[in-house]
Structure 1
Amino acid sequence: MTGGEYGDGTRSVHAGLPAPEPGQPFLPGPVFAAPYHLDPVTGPARDGYGRPDNPTRRLLEAAIGELEGGEARAFASGQAAITAVLMAVLRPGDTVVLPSDGYYTVRSFAASTLDQLGVRVSYVPTAGPHPSFDGVRLVLLETPANPGLDVCDVAALSVAAHAAGALVAVDNTTATPLGQRPLDLGADFSVASGTKALTGHSDLLLGYAATRDAGLLERVTTWRTQTGGVPGAFDAWLAHRSMATLDLRLARQSANAAAVAMALAARSDVEHVRWPGLPDDPSYVVAERQMRRIPGLVSVDLGSAERVTAFLRASKLVFAATSFGGLHTSADRRAQWGDSTPEGFIRISCGVEDTADLVADITAALDAAA
């Protein structure tokens, strides 16, 4: 315990657990219910129907809220959570600022739905320069950005946005709440995909939005209740169970990313390497000041799609797969999904394999693909 607060490992293990009760499990099993029994006289109490509320989901939300430092609402996916924040806050005629290098589905949603609703959309690179926020209703930051891993100064941008009357939401997917706490840095929302490193087992879809503002929380909750984008009880239980090992998983993933990034940076046949923990990375200074730990993602350009294919075929430990943050190391060539990246650009998501084994495998695969 430091300064009256438990460490990350302790907090991850105990987050959201109910008070100990003899004869009961540490984490109760999922409650599968659509309707619940109602009192014939008074009607619904806390649980009446599964869409607005579920006891398994409440425990998960308590756990996420403890780690983020706010009140959380869980959603069926990260995209559902971001959509909820956008739609709960924005109205026709409003302006929203989005990262031009962030998650491409958010940009696609903005270019279609938000534009049709009369919301003005402005795109700014994560690394800036950032314009004046005068007249802006919401600023959405994604830091570190996916997939390029640029980092922006959340505290400074929050001050600037609030001075102009704008709200700030931070996509915290890449960092997780153990790597970065946007609400502590001044953001109004922390929003993320729990599909990725938060739960880390590549076996569920989940999203969440967290805030300290009761009014904003009510608006997001109302949007979720009325649109129905809730996670199932079993997914919520799986997520809560998986979060207990978050600190352990992140420690190994970050260590692996550091070793992989240094090994790649030392090669003359690798065109470009990004990891905010490298001292010569453009985002290093901000990341070191702002982040509690650097995530297990490394971005690298191998020059061509053909070399990426040869590398993945030669590797025994790196799986070709999208998403990130799981136990197994994977690589995703982003251009194949229509993302605006070079053909040879891949995002490597470092898993929890032994560091020496992973570096040796990647080195051998690159040699074979030369």
Structure 2
Amino acid sequence: MARYGDSTRSVKAVGTQPIPGSPVASPPVPASTYHLSADEDPALDSYGRSSNPTWRQLESALAELEGAASALVFGSGMAAITAVLRVLARPGRKLVVPADGYYQVRQYAQEYLVPQGVTVVEATSAQMCELAADADVVLAETPTNPGLDVVDLHRLAMDCRSRGAVLVVDNTTATPLGQQPLSLGADLVVASATKTLSGHSDLIAGYVAGSHPDLMAAVERERLLAGPILGAFEAWLVLRSLGSAGLRFERQCQNAAALAMALRGHPRVRSVRYPGLPDDPSHAIASLQMRRFGGLIAVEFEDAAAVHRLVERSDLLIASTSFGGIHTSVDRRARWGDPVSPGFARISLGIEDADDLISDITAALG
């Protein structure tokens, strides 16, 4: 797969075995129960909370794209992350989580893990390698959501490996088409498939990928017992969307780079962050570990009212949270409690034509 481009990898990942008479696109299998065998073969499907053929096909595709031995799908990205943390962050252990990453991870760690006896340390991207020096488990997010800072994954992985610590990387913003943390030394990848991989703003899903059999088996056991499963139909929707992920992501990255360049000198824009900009603080490290720089840009406007005016005056922008869909969207992150200024906006680029987007947004800014 490594010899192929992103769109070819995406299409091949969701392909079925070329058996004459079989469908090219596999249908979903929405089953809760299955016929049991007389010999009670444990390899056969028995109950929908433990296994599903549509899951397996999606998991195989995700493992291919992440460069992993296996993957496990979950009902959401947070379900995937919290399952991993429940397995790894035991009482008495020290866990490092991103201080500048997705806010609900910090909330979960403080509200659930700390009362269980886990020592939780919040570290910014710049502090991650230093504060993770004596941690048992490190959860890194890169590029961070929403600030788009980048963690040096190779350095962090080498440090964790030297001490026997476990490194988990949230690969949601980069996607496996932009970055492969496992190849840089991470032990597990967690991600939301709600975003770019499914890409149509119509489902919630997450996954864990890795190549350590014991770790993956423990996470699978946690999924079985706790039950944060992905529905068969949602799994099928992700699967059918994956085939176009390479094409969509390429356009989103192109649009993000073009808009970042267009806004960086605009008088109504205070700052623009995008790892693909040559003068971005994260560019040097991002260039070493990312194949593409993603479809998100972080823009700081004067205040919250400026963000609202931009959306109101634009014909193409929509105001919505989440990201990675085909529509270009704006999310004022301070409303959710992120430690950012009131005028900070995360713009998720869709697949519209770049010239149309730039013309529309610059006109809306006035």
- TM-score interval w.r.t. the shorter chain? over 0.9
Tell me how far 1:22 sits from its aligned partner.
2.0
Within 2, Cα distance between the matches of 1:186 and 1:44? 33
Within 2, Cα distance between the matches of 1:203 and 1:272? 31
CA-based RMSD of the aligned residues comes to 1.3
- Give the secondary-structure state (helix, strand or coil) at the position aligned to 2:184: coil
Tell me how far 1:74 sits from its aligned partner.
0.3
Within 2, Cα distance between the matches of 1:6 and 1:43? 38
Cross-structure match for 1:319: 318
Correspondence 1:261-300 to 2 at 5 A:
261-300=260-299
Cross-structure match for 1:209: 208
Cross-structure match for 1:67: 65
- Give the secondary-structure state (helix, strand or coil) at the position aligned to 2:222: helix
Within 1, Cα distance between the matches of 2:128 and 2:83? 27
Tell me how far 1:40 sits from its aligned partner.
3.5
Within 2, Cα distance between the matches of 1:43 and 1:268? 68
1:25 maps to 2:23: yes
Within 1, Cα distance between the matches of 2:16 and 2:254? 33
Within 2, Cα distance between the matches of 1:230 and 1:129? 31
- Stretch moving more, 176-185 or 44-53: 44-53
Cross-structure match for 1:243: 242
- Give the secondary-structure state (helix, strand or coil) at the position aligned to 2:298: strand
Spell out structure 1 runs of 4+ moving beyond 4 A: none
Within 2, Cα distance between the matches of 1:299 and 1:134? 29
Cross-structure match for 1:34: 32
Cross-structure match for 2:228: 229
Within 2, Cα distance between the matches of 1:113 and 1:357? 46
Give the direction of change, closer, same or farther, for the CA distance of 1:206–1:101 in structure 2 (3 Å limit).
same
Kindly provide the amino acid, as one letter, of the partner of residue 330 in structure 1: S
- Stretch moving more, 338-347 or 182-191: 338-347
Mapped contact 1:133–1:166 kept (Cα < 8 A)? no
Cross-structure match for 1:11: 9
Cross-structure match for 1:167: 166
- Give the secondary-structure state (helix, strand or coil) at the position aligned to 2:200: coil
Mapped contact 1:38–1:44 kept (Cα < 8 A)? no
- Give the secondary-structure state (helix, strand or coil) at the position aligned to 1:300: strand
- Give the secondary-structure state (helix, strand or coil) at the position aligned to 1:97: strand
Tell me how far 1:142 sits from its aligned partner.
0.3
Give the direction of change, closer, same or farther, for the CA distance of 1:41–1:132 in structure 2 (3 Å limit).
closer
Give the direction of change, closer, same or farther, for the CA distance of 1:15–1:129 in structure 2 (3 Å limit).
closer
Cross-structure match for 2:182: 183
- Give the secondary-structure state (helix, strand or coil) at the position aligned to 1:184: helix
Using the size of structure 1 for normalisation, the TM-score is: 0.96
Correspondence 1:133-144 to 2 at 5 A:
133-144=132-143
- Give the secondary-structure state (helix, strand or coil) at the position aligned to 1:131: helix
Indicate the percent of aligned positions where both proteins have the same amino acid: 52
- Give the secondary-structure state (helix, strand or coil) at the position aligned to 1:240: helix
- Give the secondary-structure state (helix, strand or coil) at the position aligned to 2:172: coil
- Stretch moving more, 275-284 or 122-131: 122-131
Correspondence 1:286-365 to 2 at 5 A:
286-365=285-364
Mapped contact 1:133–1:164 kept (Cα < 8 A)? no
Within 1, Cα distance between the matches of 2:20 and 2:164? 51
Kindly provide the amino acid, as one letter, of the partner of residue 296 in structure 1: G
Mapped contact 2:128–2:151 kept (Cα < 8 A)? no
Tell me how far 1:294 sits from its aligned partner.
0.7
1:77 maps to 2:109: no
- Give the secondary-structure state (helix, strand or coil) at the position aligned to 1:183: helix
- Stretch moving more, 121-130 or 213-222: 121-130
Mapped contact 2:14–2:243 kept (Cα < 8 A)? no
Kindly provide the amino acid, as one letter, of the partner of residue 205 in structure 2: L
Tell me how far 1:341 sits from its aligned partner.
1.3
Tell me how far 1:129 sits from its aligned partner.
5.9
Q: Deviations over 1:282-337 (max 9, x none)?
A: 00111111100010101001111111111110011010000000000000001111
Kindly provide the amino acid, as one letter, of the partner of residue 17 in structure 1: G
Mapped contact 1:16–1:61 kept (Cα < 8 A)? no
- Give the secondary-structure state (helix, strand or coil) at the position aligned to 1:72: strand
Within 2, Cα distance between the matches of 1:39 and 1:157? 48
Tell me how far 1:27 sits from its aligned partner.
2.1
Kindly provide the amino acid, as one letter, of the partner of residue 356 in structure 1: D
Within 2, Cα distance between the matches of 1:254 and 1:33? 38
Within 2, Cα distance between the matches of 1:321 and 1:6? 34
Within 1, Cα distance between the matches of 2:236 and 2:57? 9
| Unpaired stretches in structure 1, ≥5 consecutive residues | none
Cross-structure match for 1:101: 100
Within 2, Cα distance between the matches of 1:79 and 1:46? 29
Tell me how far 1:11 sits from its aligned partner.
1.2
Cross-structure match for 2:155: 156
Kindly provide the amino acid, as one letter, of the partner of residue 148 in structure 2: L
1:126 maps to 2:125: yes
